[in-house]
Amino acid sequence: MSKRTENIILFDLDGTLTDSADGIIKSAQHMQEKLGMPISKAEDLRFIVGPPLLPLFQSDFGMTLEEAEHALVVYRERYSTVGLFENEVYEGIPELLQSLRQKGKRLAVATSKKQESAIRILDHFGIAEYFEVIGGDNREIGRDTKAKVIAYVLEELHADMSDVVMVGDRKYDVEGAHAIGLPCIAVEYGYGDLAEFEACGADEVVATVKDLDERF
């Protein structure tokens, strides 16, 4: 298989660079408790890791938009102070980022997480320096979908679309990339699985961090 030739690589955060499930799930349980909802078991909440939370609260928790916005505020009470650091960088990621930079690649992050939180996490783990741009959700100015986040990052990079590839671990990454005409590599070590990637049309699937490095 020939190596990929794109020189700009956009990374998702949760499930791609870091294993963030613990903090996200505990913060969702905090939200459920504060709102008087039944508290779900951790294993039953893994589906919330990765996608934008506001539409998910509406579709999967049966909330109105107003209820979902309030639930997000309550969720962030815990996540913004404790939950975002209940997290760890996947083994091999710092070495991957260093390797890609040595190969001359330009790296950036495009996440559905709130941009401020994404920057804090990457700074905390000492890997922010590898990325030219860290882009995330900024609902206050209408940047509230994966596709909009990716578009923002590309604009900040002054990127040639033909020279960019997205890397993510859920269908939301694939769909967001495809919505603006980018290919997407899906990684199996995160929160998605092969069936999900096949259903959403991922351009390529890799199993490990090492496999990802070897594709470039």
Residue recorded with tokens 């990802």: 212
- By the 10 Å C-beta count (0-12 exposed, 13-18 middle, 19+ buried), 36 is classed as exposed
Cα 123 to Cα 39, 69, 75, 111, 127: the distances in Å are: 32, 27, 22, 15, 6
Known catalytic residue at 12: yes
Catalytic residue among 12, 19, 137, 169: 12
As a whole number of angstroms, the distance between CA 215 and CA 85 comes to: 30
Judged by phi (left if over 0) then psi (alpha if -120 to 50, else beta), residue 2 lies in: beta
Q: Are 111 and 118 in contact (CB under 8 A)?
A: yes
The residues annotated with a catalytic role in the active site are 12
